[in-house]
Structures are given as C-alpha cells and as structure tokens.
C-alpha cells in the first residue's frame, strides 16, 4: 500500500517535471512552427493529467516555474487554462471544438445579492440572445441553470475541466444543464460583487464559434453584437436581480471572463459604496472623503479604500478592497484617486505607510484606513437614523 503510494507520488513528480521542461522549451521557441509542436505535446500531457484527476501536477509545475521562469510560467498557465476550458469532441463522427464561456455580472444591493436557480424560461431567453447575437451558424449552446457567485464557480483546473466537460456534453446533446444549488458553497455577503452565468458553445472543428468570425461578416460586428447582447441579457435577468443595480459584462472564455470581471469589479465597488452612502445615509459625494492605503503581508497584497464623512478623520463608514491583480502599486493608487474624483469625492488622503492585513476578529470584515492613519472597522455615521451596517460587537 505504502509502496504504491510512493510510486504514484514519484510518477506525479515526474509528470510535473516534464510539464516544467516542456514549458521552458516552449518559452524559448523562436518560431510559430516550433511553438505549435511544443504546445501540442504540452496540451496532450495537460489533457491527460486533467482527465485522470491529477491536476495537482499542473499546480506543482506552475509553482516551480513561478520561482525560476516567468515567461515559461505564463505559457504553461495559458495552456492549462485553455485545456481546462476547451476540448475537442466527436458528434456524429465529426470533430467539433467546444469552449466553456462565462457571462459575468457586476451587482450591488443593500440586501443580499442573489445566487439562484434560473427558470427554464430564463435559460431559454438568455440562450435565444446568445444564439441571436453571439453564436455562429451551426453552433450548439447550453447554459447552466444557475446564477453563480465567485465562491461557487469551479476553482482548480480539474474542477473547471469537469464542469466544462459536462456543460459541453449538454450542448452537444441538446440537453438542459441542471445545477444542484445544495452542492454549492454559500457565498460571502458583500455590498458589491460579481455573479456569473456559465455556458458552453460547440462548433464543427475549424469553423467559427462566434457570428463575427464568419466569412463575409465584418469582424467589427463584434462590438455591436456584444452591446446588444448585454442589453438584452440585462432585460431578461432583471426579475432575478430585484433590489440590485447590476451590469452585464461581455461573455468570454471562462478564465478570461473571470479576470476581466475581477478588474471591473474594483471601480464598480467604489461606485456602489458611493451610491450606498447616498441612498442609506443621505451623504452626497461632496460630503465624503476617501482614504487610500496599501495593505501588506510580507508584500503589498491590496489597496484598501476607507470612505467616511468629510471632517471626521477617525471614522470609516464604508470600505472597498482594491486587489492589485498584477498592477503596480503606484498605478493602482492613481486609478483609485481618479475613480474617486470621477465619483465627485474630491477629498482624498493617500497614506505613504503600509498597513498590516487586518480583519475584524469577530466578523472577519477587512479593516479600512481612516484619514488619521489607523485601520478601523466600518461603522454607520454617528447621527444616522438608520443603522443597518452597525457591527454588533
Ligand atoms: Zn466586525
């Protein structure tokens, strides 16, 4: 027993090692022809690992490359994402390409944001908008009947691969894709957050996935098509999103869609905080001040923005976490300052010193910087009639 485990672990280490080597050679390649050969060998190994449930090998290879070779890391990460979210399958003896798509929403509400099952009518309505605006002729679609929070989405490469496989099979067979909400985690409640629809699109191999890729269609038709889809999808989703303000983002391949939504959520969260303070406490942007500070745990992890009443340098009423997502710290701070100004919050304090990553011991909420230079818990303004966000501790 022990020996088998030892052997399989050694085998896994060897596969991680092979992935690392192949990725390094790919990163050194100087021609598209050579790229394609390395990519094919890497993809074969990646699909094999994913199909056997050994995606930990991919993570070990990426951990190793992160330390030694940034370019090879990016190449392997790109390919691993691609293999997890797309595959080739045979339908009626013809090869088809298939891709897992995500359609992100940005939403905020004073109440709990929904994560819910979609009615068949709503799935059909979204499907009709996808078919009408996005999908190329001859493609097949399926949409999962659930509005996911980020915590509920598949996370590891293996989980993404598994969900992609099942959703793509549903698209290929023209079946509905039912999600058991009880199998999903309860999301963390936030004022502003992302929500996602998942879909799969299947096209005969080598043919267009999207309408704007079809021969004879102006490639710039993409711009109008996405705008129309986002509007129509927002209309269809309105009843589900009662009590929320929300925006539908462009559908995209799963990993790319999540990245874009993470980026867009940052500014949207500042807008939401400003709108929330106006709606709940009657505080207009001109009565507010923002405080910006970098929070670190060994290195800077994120910028946090405290928003409070102008003139009260000790209290923070609402806060927004702005993850760096690969941006330089200076750029992030500039972006936040510009976003606050665009909202009409012109009084802004930016602290030069770093704060430790602190969370409330009782509720786990992040602590936010105040103008006086401390990290504090958000609390409603002293004179507020309504006290919905008052911490009970
Ligand atoms: Zn707390």
pLDDT at 82: 98
Q: Is the pLDDT of residue 3 over 90?
A: no
Residue 302 is predicted with a pLDDT of: 95
Ligand 1 centre and the CA of 64: distance in Å? 38
Q: What is the pTM of this model?
A: 0.91
Q: How far is the CA of 201 from the centre of ligand 1 (A)?
A: 43
Task: Quote the pLDDT of residue 358.
Answer: 93
CA–centroid distance, residue 359 to ligand 1 (Å):
8
> Does residue 363 surpass a pLDDT of 70?
yes
Distance 316 CA to ligand 1 centre (A): 13
Confidence category of residue 390, pLDDT binned at 50, 70, 90:
low
Distance 304 CA to ligand 1 centre (A): 16
**What distance in angstroms lies between residue 378's CA and the mean position of ligand 1's atoms?**
8
pLDDT in tens, 80-114: 999 999 999 999 999 999 999 999 999 999 989 99
Q: How far is the CA of 96 from the centre of ligand 1 (A)?
A: 51
Report the distance separating Cα 292 and Cα 64, nearest Å: 34
Query: Could you tell me the distance, in angstroms and rounded to a whole number, from the CA of residue 360 to the centre of ligand 1?
Result: 5
Residue 132 C-alpha to ligand 1 middle, in angstroms?
47
Is pLDDT at 272 greater than 80 in this prediction? Answer: yes
CA of 365 to the centre of ligand 1 (A): 6
Q: What is the pLDDT of residue 2?
A: 38
Taking the centre of ligand 1 as the mean of its atom positions, its distance from the CA of residue 195, in whole angstroms, is 25
Contacts of 390 (CB under 8 A, 6+ apart): 379, 380
Distance from the CA of 254 to the center of ligand 1, in angstroms? 34
Residue 59: pLDDT band with limits 50, 70, 90? very high
Phi and psi torsions of 68, nearest 5° = -120, -25
Ligand 1 centroid to Cα of residue 354, in Å, is: 21
Distances (CA, A) of 93 to 89, 90, 126, 355: 9, 6, 29, 60
CA of 315 to the centre of ligand 1 (A): 14
Q: How far is the CA of 371 from the centre of ligand 1 (A)?
A: 20
Residue 111 Cα, ligand 1 centroid: separation in angstroms?
A: 18
Could you tell me what percent of the chain has a pLDDT over 70? 94
- pLDDT of 191 over the 80 cut: yes
Confidence band, pLDDT 50/70/90 cuts, at residue 1:
very low
Q: Is the pLDDT confidence value at 370 over 60?
A: yes
pLDDT category of residue 7 using cuts at 50, 70 and 90: very low
Q: pLDDT at residue 240 above 90?
A: yes
Ligand 1 centre distance from Cα of residue 367 (Å):
8
Q: Is the pLDDT of residue 249 over 60?
A: yes
Phi, psi values for residue 3, rounded to 5°: -65, -45
Tell how far the Cα of 364 is from the centroid of ligand 1, in angstroms: 6
Give the strand pairing for 288-297 and 347-350: parallel
- 29 Cα: distance to centroid of ligand 1 (angstroms): 52
Q: Residue 188: is its pLDDT beyond 90?
A: no
Query: What is the rounded average pLDDT for all residues in the chain?
Result: 93
Contact 213, 219 (CB under 8 A): yes
What integer pLDDT is reported at residue 66 of this predicted model? 95
Question: How far, in Å, is the centroid of ligand 1 from the Cα of 322?
Answer: 19
> Model confidence at 6, in pLDDT bands (50, 70, 90)?
very low
What pLDDT was estimated at residue 176? 96
Q: How far is the CA of 379 from the centre of ligand 1 (A)?
A: 9
pLDDT of amino acid 391 = 59
The pLDDT of 296-320, averaged and rounded, is 94
Cβ 83 vs Cβ 98: under 8 Å: no
Q: What CA–CA distance (Å, rounded) separates 346 from 369? A: 17
pLDDT in tens, 107-124: 999 989 998 999 999 999
């Amino acid at each position: 027993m022990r020996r088998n485990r030892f052997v399989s672990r050694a085998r896994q280490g060897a596969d991680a090692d092979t992935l690392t080597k192949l990725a390094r050679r790919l990163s050194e390649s100087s021609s598209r022809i050579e790229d394609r050969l390395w990519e094919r060998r890497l993809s074969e190994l990646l699909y094999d690992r994913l199909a056997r449930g050994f995606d930990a090998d991919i993570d070990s290879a990426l951990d190793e490359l992160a330390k030694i070779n940034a370019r090879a890391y990016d190449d392997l990460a790109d390919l691993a994402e691609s293999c997890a979210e797309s595959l080739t399958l045979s339908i009626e003896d013809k090869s088809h390409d298939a891709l897992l798509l995500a359609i992100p929403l940005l939403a905020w509400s004073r109440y709990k944001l929904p994560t819910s099952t979609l009615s068949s009518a709503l799935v059909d309505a979204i499907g009709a908008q996808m078919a009408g605006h996005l999908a190329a002729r001859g493609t097949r679609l399926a949409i999962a009947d659930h509005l996911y929070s980020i915590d509920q989405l598949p996370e590891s490469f293996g989980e993404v691969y598994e969900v992609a496989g099942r959703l793509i099979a549903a698209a290929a067979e023209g079946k509905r894709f039912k999600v058991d909400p009880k199998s999903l985690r309860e999301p963390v409640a936030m004022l502003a957050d992302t929500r996602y629809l998942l879909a799969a699109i299947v096209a005969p191999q080598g043919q267009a996935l999207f309408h704007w890729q079809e021969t004879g269609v102006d490639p710039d038709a993409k711009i109008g098509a996405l705008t129309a889809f986002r509007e129509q999808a927002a209309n269809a989703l309105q009843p589900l999103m009662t009590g929320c303000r929300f925006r539908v983002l462009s559908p995209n391949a799963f990993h790319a869609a999540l990245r874009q939504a993470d980026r867009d959520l940052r500014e949207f969260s500042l807008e939401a905080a400003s709108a929330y303070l106006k709606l709940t406490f009657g505080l207009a942007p001109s009565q507010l001040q923002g405080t910006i500070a970098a929070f670190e745990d060994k290195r800077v992890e994120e910028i946090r923005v405290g928003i409070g009443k102008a003139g009260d340098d000790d209290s923070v009423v609402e806060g927004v976490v702005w993850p760096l997502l690969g941006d330089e710290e200076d750029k992030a701070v500039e972006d936040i300052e510009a976003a606050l100004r665009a909202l009409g919050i012109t009084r802004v304090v930016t602290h030069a010193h770093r704060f430790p990553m602190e969370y409330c011991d009782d509720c786990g909420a992040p602590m936010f910087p105040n103008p006086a230079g401390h990290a504090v818990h958000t609390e409603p303004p002293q004179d507020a009639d309504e006290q919905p966000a008052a911490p009970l501790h």
